Amino acid sequence: MQRPRFTGKVALVTGAARGQGRSHAVRLAAEGADVIVCDLGADIDTVPYALGTEDELRETASLVAEQGRRAVVCRCDVRSTADLSAAVERGLDELGRIDVVVANAGIAGVSTLAEMSDDVWQNMIDVNLTGVFKTLRAVVPHMVSRRYGRIVATSSIVGRQGSANIGHYVAAKWGVIGLVKSLAVEVAEFGVTVNAVLPTSVDSDMIQNDAFHRLFLPDADEIRMRDVEDAYTALNPIPVPWLSPGDVSDAVLFLASDEARFITGDALPVALGWNARMAA
């Protein structure tokens, strides 16, 4: 039987209340890690769906505990330097170290660039790009001092192409790839790796909401899930509509493991074949 890959390690996961973040946290725990689970636990007024709640964050912590591992719960706004510093400090105080960081917190929304308000643009950049920067900045000094660390940031397959109606999201996700590659060069000599995962659509509240369904079916009188599934499936060479959060966790855990110790500055698509149509 294969030994769990994260026995004795500590991970910090942002956006952990549900969806991909919850999946990553629970999977890390199942493979031996104690986990600092972080989430805003509140809505943002420019996001067209409800965000994870404090109760859902605590449920994630309970699921970590069910794996026999410790969980530290931190309500944390990734836009806030103070919140992230406090989460890292608390994690170090209670668990003693941070070996793995999954910078996963993110939001989505729909608007043409011409019609986009300043607030819609700014909140997207603040959460999806600046939030990743602040997460990495908060933990890198600790990892460098220990000469060990595994960082994985969530970008997107649209971080390598243009896409109408989500230009703010696309811009932020392109930025995450540049941030990851730059930090990877800065910390490589200290035993710290930095990589990104690039999912396509994932079955979560981020896409399962009226705003995104209408993006694909703008003229429908009634939104039927069968039609939504067909619309998403038509995008993908692998003919399924979307990933499960666990599909992304498979890639995250690989990049966070010592199996990937010589992989850094990379951007790994988990994209149902979208990337096959893109330039290398």
Please tell me the pTM assigned to this model: 0.96
Domains of the chain by range and CATH? Answer: 10-202+245-270 (3.40.50.720), 208-241 (no CATH)
So what's the pLDDT on residue 144?
A: 98
So what's the pLDDT on residue 280?
A: 66
So what's the pLDDT on residue 68?
A: 98
Using CB atoms within 10 A of its CB, is residue 280 exposed (0-12), middle (13-18) or buried (19+)?
Answer: exposed
Residues marked active site are found at 169
Contact 21, 15 (CB under 8 A): yes
Report how far Cα 3 is from the mean position of its chain's Cα atoms: 26
So what's the pLDDT on residue 212?
A: 86
Cα–Cα dist 79/126, whole Å: 6
Q: Calculate the CA dihedral of residues 184, 187, 192, 195 and round it to 10 degrees.
A: -10
**Which percentage of the chain shows pLDDT scores above 70?**
99
Provide the residue-wise pLDDT of the chain in tens; the chain has 280 residues: 567 999 999 999 999 999 999 999 999 999 999 999 999 999 999 999 999 999 999 999 999 999 999 999 999 999 999 999 999 999 999 999 999 999 999 999 999 999 999 999 999 999 999 999 999 999 999 999 999 999 999 999 999 999 999 999 999 999 999 999 999 999 999 999 999 999 999 999 999 998 888 887 887 778 888 988 998 999 899 999 999 999 999 999 999 999 999 999 999 999 999 999 887 6
For the chain, how many helices (H) and strands (E)?
9, 7
So what's the pLDDT on residue 218?
A: 82
So what's the pLDDT on residue 217?
A: 81
Identify the CA nearest to 79 among candidates 135, 118, 117, 35. Answer: 135
